[in-house]
Amino acid sequence: MIIRSAKELDRNFDQLARGDVVVGPLPAKYLSPALVADLMERGVRCVPSPLCQLISRSKCAQALLLRQWMAPHTLVIARRAELMEAVGYCARNRIEPVVTKQEGMHCGHGIRRWDNPETLYNTVAFNSADYPFVLQPFLPDISDIRVIVVDDYVEAYVRENEFNFRANLAAGGAGRPLEMDAAAERLCREVMRRCRFPYAHIDLHLTPGGHCWLSEITLEGGIAAARIGRPELQRRKQDVLKRLAQAEIEQN
């Protein structure tokens, strides 16, 4: 059985078995840990993989699994005790301004800059709704780069905002084309292979010293400053999914 829509998935969910394939992103309700585990236990194959779909929705999961490509000292804070430990960790490593990324928020709305970790602790320590979140050193003077990768198509542009350290276009930033660097593309491809992304919208941070760090990765994202249009991008993504689904069917 090949499932290609949310309605088909709802109608056939209980009958799915080993060898069946679900093509396309899973609806949010099917991305709960229990239902993802259930599909995997029954041998149902998903394209894109459940791993990349879950990672695409979680900043904290990305920081845990992809930290080797992220800026040094990236931490995931899940509870107050870990935040207290992070205050000491930052002090030992002479880290003062920090940035937090709140889980489940997008378009720059969940990114906050703090003058120091102690201020962060005094503000959020006792509010359980603020956990979990990603904690990173604040990187001044970075270039914020959006990369779109679909098969052999790669496009990059810089996002800039002289009035806000959040360079997201939704937060008032502007974009301009950027020639893709070979090392940056290599980083993108490595991250995609690690978590089985068939295509991706990837945010990178490029430092004045030439270091390139992963910021975030997602299956879907804004393309306001891209040369490629949304219809063409979606066509390319669908072609990739069809090819991967056919490979899964032939394998079974």
What is the CATH code for 72-137? 3.30.1490.20
Over its length of 252 residues, how does the chain's per-residue pLDDT go in tens digits?
A: 899 999 999 999 999 999 899 999 999 999 998 999 999 999 999 999 999 999 999 999 999 999 999 999 999 999 999 999 999 999 999 999 999 999 987 767 889 999 999 999 999 988 888 899 999 999 988 999 999 999 999 999 999 887 777 777 766 778 889 999 899 999 999 999 999 999 999 999 999 888 999 999 999 998 988 999 999 999 999 999 999 999 888 776
Q: Identify the CATH number of the domain defined by range 143-240.
A: 3.30.470.20
* Cα–Cα dist 208/78, whole Å: 31
pLDDT at 199: 98
The predicted structure's pLDDT at residue 171:
67
How far apart are the C-alpha atoms of 75 and 88, rounded to whole Å? 13
**Domain limits of the chain?**
2-58, 72-137, 143-240
pLDDT for the residue numbered 188: 97
* Per-residue model confidence (pLDDT) at position 129: 84
Res 42: pLDDT:
94
Cα-based distances in Å from 145 to 60, 192, 217: 20, 16, 12
| CATH fold match for the domains 72-137 and 143-240 | no
**pLDDT in the model for residue 37:** 94
CB 245 within 8 A of CB 21: yes
Residue 165's pLDDT is what? 76
| pLDDT recorded at residue 252 | 67
